[in-house]
Every structure is written in C-alpha cells, then in structure tokens.
C-alpha cells in the first residue's frame, strides 16, 4: 500500500500549499509531517525545504518545454522583475532565462 495520494487533476500549487501547511501545523503528528514532506519531494522531484516559499513559484511556473512566445505584457513583467530590488536573484535568473528563450 502506497502512502502517496493521487493528485492528478488537482492544482499542484494548491496541493503543495496544503502539504506545507501540514508540515507547519503543530497539531499534526510527526508521521503526517513526514508523509507531507515526502509527497512534496515526490512532486518536485528532489529535495524540498517545506519552509521555502519558492516551491510555489517553481510549481506555478515550470520552465518552458516548447516554443512559446510571450505576449507584450508577459515580456514587460519579466523585464520589470529584472529591475525590481525586492525580487530574489533566483527569480531574476528565471526571468532572464525566459526572456532569452523568447528571443530565440
């Protein structure tokens, strides 16, 4: 019997948010917290720090796998990300990669 639940058809961002809430809830057993952490690792294909809010962005915006051109608003949003001092370097690098892929 597998402890992994079928999450097909569900929004992976919301599933990850629920799993993170489980990990941080003091009323949840250690066993449930371990299962939630394992499920997060399975969803993201590797090591996961449940306290890291970047996993939401990773799930919400996976890297493009096909040739998809950006709209003007999307391109402008990524350019604004590069100039915003409140944005992490990781997010800026992601925006650079998206903009470079769009130019090709």
Given a cut of 70, whether residue 25 has pLDDT beyond it is yes
Pairwise pLDDT comparison (46 vs 79), residue with the higher score: 79
Per domain, the residue ranges of the chain are 12-60, 72-103
Classify burial at 68, counting beta carbons within 10 Å of its beta carbon; exposed 0-12, middle 13-18, buried 19 or more. exposed
Mean pLDDT, the chain, as a whole number? 76
What share of the chain in percent tops pLDDT 70?
68
pTM of the predicted model as reported, rounded to 2 decimal places: 0.40
> 50: pLDDT confidence band, cut at 50, 70 and 90?
low
Tell me how far apart the alpha carbons of residues 95 and 90 are, in angstroms, rounded to a whole number. 9
pLDDT tens digits for range 79-88: 999 999 998 9
**Cβ atoms 93, 72 nearer than 8 A:** no
């Amino acid at each position: 019997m597998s402890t992994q639940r079928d999450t097909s058809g569900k929004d992976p961002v919301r599933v990850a948010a629920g799993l993170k809430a489980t990990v941080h809830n003091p009323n949840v057993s250690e066993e449930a917290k371990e299962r939630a952490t394992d499920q997060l690792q399975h969803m993201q294909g590797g090591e996961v720090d449940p306290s890291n809010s970047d996993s939401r962005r990773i799930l919400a915006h996976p890297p493009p796998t096909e040739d998809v051109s950006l709209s003007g608003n999307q391109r402008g949003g990524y350019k604004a990300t590069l100039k915003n001092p409140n944005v992490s370097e990781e997010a800026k690098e992601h925006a650079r990669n998206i903009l470079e892929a769009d130019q090709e």
